[in-house]
Amino acid sequence: MASHRKSRPAGTRVAGVRTPALATAALTSVALLSQSANAAPAADGAPSLEEVEKKVDALYRQAESATEKYNAAKERTTKQRKRVDTLLDDVARRTQKLNEAREELGSFAAAQYRTGASAPDTATFLLADSPQDYFDQTQLMSRLTTRQKGAVDDYVTEQSETMKKRREATQGLQSLTETQSDLHAAKATVQRKLSDARAVLSKLNAEERARLAAIEKRKQEEAAAKAAELARQQEAAEKAARRQADTSSPSSSSGSSGSSGSAQSSGSSSSGGSYATKAAKTLAFARAQIGKPYVWGATGPGSYDCSGLTQAAWKAAGVALPRTTYDQVNAGTTVSLADAQPGDLVFFYDDITHVGVYAGNGMMIHAPKPGAYVREESIYYDGESAIHSVVRPA
C-alpha cells in the first residue's frame, strides 16, 4: 500500500462495539456495570463476551473494508460510464459522417453510370473489401477528379477512425461490465457482514448486552485518558517551540539578516493561517454532522460513511478530496501524530479502511461504523496500534 506506512507496535488489538443501544443498556443497568468486565468463557462452551466483541468488531471492520471497495468500484463505474457514453456519441457522429461520405461517393457512381464512364470501376470500388484494395488499381486514380479524390480520402479516413472508436467503445463497455461486477460483489459482502454482526448480537440477552457495554465504557475511558496525555504532550511541545523561537530571535537583530528572518516568519505564518482557516471550516462542518447515522456508501447530507464525511467536510472548506480512504491517504502531506493539527485526517488500520477528522487534543470527529452515529471521540478509540497515519490536506 502506501509507502508512508509506519510500523505497528507489538501486541494484540482488542476492538470495541460502540453502538448507542449498548451504551443505553449500560446506563440503565447500573448494577450490572459493576460486574467484572473480563467475563470468563461460559461453562457450556459458548463464546465469552470478549470473544463476541472481537467477532462483531471484526465483522464491522470487514464490512467497512468492503464499503471502501464498493466506493472505489462505484467511482470507477461512474467515470467509465461517462467515458463510454462519450465514445458512443463520437461513434454516432463519425458514423453519420461516414454515411454522408458514402452517399457522396454513390452520387459519383450514379453520375458515371449515367454517362457510361468508369461505371465498372466505381462499382468495384463500392463493393471492394477495403478501399486500399481498390486504390491499388492506379489506373482508377488517374480517372478521378480532384473532388472525387477528396471524397474518397474523406471516406477512408472516417471509416478508419470510426472503426477505431468502435473498438474503444467495445473495450470500455467490457471494463464497465467488470467494474459493475466488482460493485455488486462489494455490496453483497457489506450486506453479508452486517447481517452476520446483527445475528451475533441478537443472541445476547439483556445482562450480556449490559456487561458488553461496560467493557466498551472502560475502553472509552482508557482512550480518553490517552487522548488527554497526547494533548498535554502537544501543548508542552508548543510551549518549548515558542521558547526556542524567542531565544533564537533577539530583539536587537537588524540588517539583512533580520529582514530575511522576518520575511520567512511572515510567510510561514501566512501559510499556517491559510490552513487553519480551511481546517476551521472543515471542523465546523464535521461538528454540525454529529448525530447523523453511519450508512455505508453514503456521502451526505443525511448520513455518511467515514470517507464520505471527511470528503464532505473538506469540500466545505473548498478542498476536493478523493472518495475513498485509499486515495485520501495520498491527498496531502503525511505528518507525525505528535504534530497533528485540527483538520488533519487520521487514518486507521493497515488496510487503511477508516478515517476521521482530527479535532485537536487527541480527539476526532468520525462516522464510526454501521449502527453508530457521527461523533467526537478519542483517536485511540480502537487502540494506539490501530492508527495508521496522519495526513494534512490542502
As annotated, the active-site residues are 306, 354, 366
> Facing residues of 363 across strands?
360, 378
For CA atoms 129, 131, 136, 138, the dihedral sign is: positive
Contacts of residues 72-78 at CB distance under 8 Å and 24 or more positions apart, as own/partner, are 72/323, 72/324, 72/326, 72/327, 73/179, 73/180, 73/182, 73/183, 73/186, 74/183, 74/297, 74/323, 75/323, 75/324, 76/179, 76/182, 77/176, 77/179, 77/180, 77/183
Give CA angle at 97 (93, 100), nearest 5°.
140
CB 7 within 8 A of CB 390: no
For CA atoms 204, 210, 214, 220, the dihedral sign is: positive
Query: Among 311, 285, 286, which residue's Cα sits nearest to residue 298?
Result: 311
In terms of DSSP H, where are the helices of the chain?
Answer: 20-27, 30-33, 49-115, 119-127, 131-135, 138-143, 146-202, 206-248, 255-288, 306-315, 325-328
CB 275 within 8 A of CB 392: yes
What would the DSSP string read from start to end of 202-223? HT--HHHHHHHHHHHHHHHHHH
Cell of 356: 476521521
CA 169 to chain centre: 26
Residues 147, 149: Cα–Cα separation, whole Å = 5
Relative orientation angle of helices 206-248 and 20-27, to the nearest 10 degrees: 110
CB 334 within 8 A of CB 390: yes
Cell of 82: 461517462
Cell of 36: 467484572
Residues 239, 227: Cα–Cα separation, whole Å = 18
